[in-house]
Structure 1
Amino acid sequence: MFKKIVFSLFLISFVAKSQHVVQGTLKGENDYKWVILYQLKGFNQIYLANVDIVEGKFSAKIPENSPKGMYRLAYDLENNGFVDFLYNNESVTLEFDPKNQLETLNFSTSEENIVYYSYLNEAETIRQQLDSIQLTYFKTVDDNNKEALKKLYNVTFKMYQNIQAKFEEASTGKLANHFIKANQKYYSLEMFNMPQAYLNSEKSHFFDFINFNDNELNNSTLINQKIIEYVFYLSQSDDAQVQTALYKNAVVEVMQKIKDNNALASEVCTTLMFAFTQVQNVTLVDFMLESIYKMLPKEFIDEAVVLEVESKIKLAIGKTAPDFSWPVAKKQQKLSEINVADTYVLVFWSTSCSHCVVEVPQLYEYTKDNKNIHVIAVSLENDEVGFKEYSKKFTNWTNVLALEKWQNSIAKQYDITSTPTYFVLDSLKKIIAKPDHIQDVKAFLLENGL
């Protein structure tokens, strides 16, 4: 009996020791009520727990057998307020002031995080000094001042090398070592005379210290953050076509770096495609979807992702307008088969919409005598009464009755949630503009000589 009691106590003790927690204190005045704990894996956040903040303090249990890697504490979803930390089978204690998180974040337990965040603070300080010296050098004309800056750069560069070496040694055998090595930034032994040469060096050495096959890094956001920075911020142009070309080159270069890591390629490609759908860059989305994502081995292609991406850009400028049909004299007329003008205005409206009954007659007066413009007016109605009355007035248009209003298949196809909604199409039915109001429609047509 005694042995059973001892064994039970040992088992309870073992279980207790294996259950690690992350606990923290939010300093200063704030009204945050809860913290969500996530495990990070690339661009994905895996929900683990949701705990209350009581008098500025919280404590969340990290599930048993949780893999080592990077985790996140989100305390303000609306304003993207969060703290990332490393977990490697040890409890974590931290504190910070949400109003000044970068300067106040402090870990009192967890050797992994103490060494990692100490490194980030020291390394970032010295990097800012190196970048500042280089920037000042570009603006300096006096030769004596330039020589002084070169000497200062050399001294500071050696300090940076020493910091990097110190923390790599201090983190030997730790999870933090992977991140400390990967966070290293390349600096040239000599300063650059021209800004463009400096920028070229930044780009060519951007991934020098990233091992894309490092499982520890893949269980974090580090690689993904670097990729986002490389694609979206390293090359900028005010010209839309040039910017698209720069984006495309950056994407290709990233995929070449990833090589045969198909899991990472799939994840990165998915994230970049959704990012480009947000800015409705059809060229980039189509390129990534057809030339990269669909070229991956089948097990790394998610058909749900393909459908969602295609859905998000189906109404983007540059895409062919979704085709639809409607009855005309016992036959079916298709949008794609209409061939009477160089430019088409597709307007979704309703006779029960007060804005529509003001704007749509204005559109008719503006376009009725212009043979280069043809309007297809889709009237979203619950019955035929209003449609019959108004279609008699719009004799030069193609008038389409779409019953069941918002539930009509055409309305759903075009994601119509408000009326009037306008699309301007070219002769091939490609979307060339999506004006918001009648004034915008007129302005676009006028600017294009119509």
Structure 2
Amino acid sequence: MKKILAFIFLISAFAQAQHTISGTMSPTIKSDWVLLYKVEGAKQTFVKNTKIKIDSFDVDGKKQALGSFHFILPKNTKVGSYRITYRLEGAGFVDFIYNNEDVNFGFHPEYPNQSVTFTESKENIIYRNYLDKIADAQQTLDSIQVTAIQNPDLDLNRKYKKALKNVNSVQKEYLDASKGMYVQPFIKASLRNSPSEIISTPQKYMSNMIDTFFDKMDFNNKTLLNSSFLIDRITDYVFSINYADDATIQQGLYKESVDKVLSKIETIPFKKDAIEFLISQFEMSMNLELIDYLFENHYNKLPIDVQSKKFKEDKLSLFAAEVGRIAPDFSWKENDKTLTLSKLDDAENYLLIFWSTSCSHCLREIPQIHKFLKENKKVKVIAFSLEKNDFGWKNYKKTLPNWHHVLGLNKWENKTARTYNIVSTPSYFVLDADKKIIAKPDDLKDVKNIINKL
């Protein structure tokens, strides 16, 4: 009976064992903390953090600093993909797999993913060895393909087939070695679909890569969905592989690539995350055309209960007053009449200025703009003054005749100012006759240059 109880206790203790994540970075960095996240598609959830311990050692007579860190994982930590982040600005993370075993690795903080070496964790060691070996084999194959394109008279078919056989041999070796392991879906999905014969032209080569890029990837596999793997491949496909020098062609390629990617995703929550991720990526380059395209053709077609109303409102309001947009509408009283921005028809262009009588820059620039535009009959100014009250504004606007004057009370909290994302005064917007924003000048000099070119 005692032996049975001891065995049960041992099994229970094993099931509840707390594993560790340990790492070293050499050289160390100017940072105190390492943060641990669980990665699930385009999202990452904070787990815990720990301090970096700094040690010194001698290298060829010189002192070298080594940073180390150690996490004790919470009990019942879920199996999956994890990430340690050690630099909040710029690239500073290492991804790894946790599957109920201790994980230990070392890396160079300036190029972590290229330098990381796992010394503990069977899952991570086998995957890292696979990535290194398959990369070498694929690079050999690709170099033969490139050489064949550059030198079409060379007969490299036998050499190519031998290299392709090696690629497939490496793939089989690691698929067999990872049988039953959590890491196997990553190995399956990592193999490129290389053609059986040499391709004769660069155009056919790129076309084949684009057409077959996702052939080995299972977009329904839960292991892949709950990692950064598919999101990383989506990023490569949309932003790297589908590339053109011509801006118009590039926009078309973006649309084709996001359509193809999203057509492959059947899991609705992941599709939502993927669309939101792509929108955020296009936000970085202020590509409003693609942001609108993703909302109209993909996000808005998701089930209503899946869509995030807050995400839509935040993104659409963020870009409401960007170049290319129709300026958000507003109304005001002027000479006992109600005027509306969208209905103004007294000029070919408009200069919308958000300013304030309490702003010293405004008081210096506004009179100069008035003088500059005094004889210009094609441009009309709409001066939107952000004030706490109307006292100073009432008198000051009299010095600026022939302008449209709008009083915006509550200053920074004014609804229109918030719609236009006004964070400083003066802020300028140049509009065409249809009230489309055609420029957002940075300063007075910029204002004059743009207006002179109208």
Identify whether the pair has TM-score above 0.5, normalized to the shorter chain. Answer: yes
Which residue among 82, 86, 90 is the counterpart of 2:97? 86
Deviates more, 1:325-334 or 1:191-200: 325-334
Matching of residue 133 in structure 1 with residue 133 in structure 2: no
Residue 179 of structure 1: CA displacement? 0.2
Contact 2:352 2:430 (8 Å CA) reproduced = yes
Greater shift, 303-312 or 202-211, is seen at: 303-312
Percent identity at matched positions?
39
SS of corresponding position for 1:28: coil
In 2, distance between residues paired with 1:367 and 1:131?
Answer: 62
TM-aligned CA deviation for residue 356 of structure 1: 2.3
Inter-CA distance 443–130: structure 2 relative to 1 (3 Å threshold): farther
1:209-253 per-position Cα deviation (integer Å, ceiling 9, x unaligned): 110000000110011111111111222233333222211111111
Q: TM-score, normalised on structure 2?
A: 0.90
Give the whole-Å Cα distance in 2 for the aligned partners of 1:290 and 1:242. Answer: 20
Tell me, yes or no, if the aligned pair for 2:80 and 2:97 is still in contact at 8 Å: yes
Give the equivalent residue in structure 2 for 1:19. 18
Q: How does 1:428-447 map to 2 (within 5 A)?
A: 428-447=434-453
C-alpha distance 135-415 of structure 1, shift in aligned 2 (>3 A) = same
- Correspondence for 1:291: 297
Residues 428 and 30 of structure 1: CA distance in aligned 2, closer, same or farther (over 3 Å) = closer
Shift of 1:443: 2.5
CA distance in 2, matches of 1:350, 1:184: 61
1:308-319 equivalence runs, <5 A = 308-319=314-325
- Which residue of the partner structure matches residue 328 of structure 2? 322
1:406–1:412 contact (8 Å) kept in structure 2 = yes
Q: Which residue of 2 aligns with 1:199?
A: 206
CA distance in 1, matches of 2:376, 2:133: 68
Unaligned segments of structure 2, at least 5 residues: 55-66
**In 2: Cα distance, 1:3 partner to 1:402 partner:** 82
Q: 1:261 aligns with which of 263, 267, 279?
A: 267
Equivalents in 2 of 1:334, 1:340: separation in Å? 12
Query: What letter matches 1:314 in structure 2?
Result: A
Does the CA contact (< 8 Å) of 2:79 and 2:99 recur in 1?
Answer: yes
Number of aligned positions between the proteins: 442
Is 1:243 aligned to 2:250, yes or no?
yes
Gaps of 5+ in 1: none
**Whole-Å Cα distance in 1 between the matches of residues 452 and 147 of structure 2?**
49
CA contact 2:81–2:95 (8 Å) conserved in 1: yes
1: CA distance, partners of 2:232 / 2:24: 27
- Shift in CA distance, 103/324, structure 1 to aligned 2, threshold 3 Å: closer
The answer for the alignment partner of 2:33 in structure 1 is 34
CA distance 1:32–1:383, shift in 2 (3 Å): closer
| Among candidates 183, 189, 201, match of residue 182 of structure 1 | 189
Q: Give the conservation status (yes or no) of the 8 Å contact 1:34–1:52.
A: yes
Change (3 A) 1:13 1:25: farther
SS of residue in 2 equivalent to 1:400: strand
- In the alignment, what sits opposite 1:217? 224
2:178 alignment counterpart: 171
Cα distance between partner residues in 2 of 1:150 and 1:12: 57
| Structure 2 equivalent of residue 228 of structure 1 | 235
Contact 1:34 1:50 in 2 (8 A): yes
Cα shift at 1:12: 10
Do residues 119 (structure 1) and 135 (structure 2) align?
A: no
Question: What letter matches 1:339 in structure 2?
Answer: D
Report the aligned-residue RMSD: 2.5
Aligned partner (choices 271, 280, 293) of residue 274 of structure 1: 280
SS at match of 2:195: coil
State the Cα deviation string for residues 285-328 of structure 1 (Å, max 9, x = none). Answer: 22221221121122321111111121222112222211122222
TM-score (norm 1): 0.91
Distance in 2 (alpha carbons) for counterparts of 1:169 and 1:8: 33
Once residues 135 and 115 of structure 1 are traced to their aligned partners in structure 2, the CA distance between those partners, rounded to angstroms, is 30
Q: What residue identity is the alignment partner of 2:411? A: K
SS in 2 for 1:298: coil
Give the stretch that moved more between structures: 184-193 or 102-111.
Answer: 102-111
Specify the alignment match of 2:384 in structure 1: 378
The alpha-carbon deviation at position 420 of structure 1 amounts to: 1.5
- In structure 1, give the amino acid aligned to 2:420: Y
Return the offset for 1:14.
0.4
* SS in structure 2 of the partner of residue 299 of structure 1: coil
8 A contact 1:277–1:312 mirrored in 2: no
Aligned partners of 1:88, 1:187: CA distance in 2, in Å?
Answer: 31
Q: Which stretch has the larger CA shift, 158-167 or 201-210?
A: 158-167
Contact 2:279 / 2:291 at 8 angstroms: preserved in 1? yes
1:53-93 superposed Cα distances (whole Å, 9 cap, x missing partner): 22332221223333322111111122221111111122212
Q: Distance in 2 between matches of 1:219 and 1:212?
A: 11
- Tell me, in whole angstroms, the C-alpha distance in 1 between the residues paired with 2:340 and 2:291: 27
Distance 1:261 1:380, change over 3 A: same
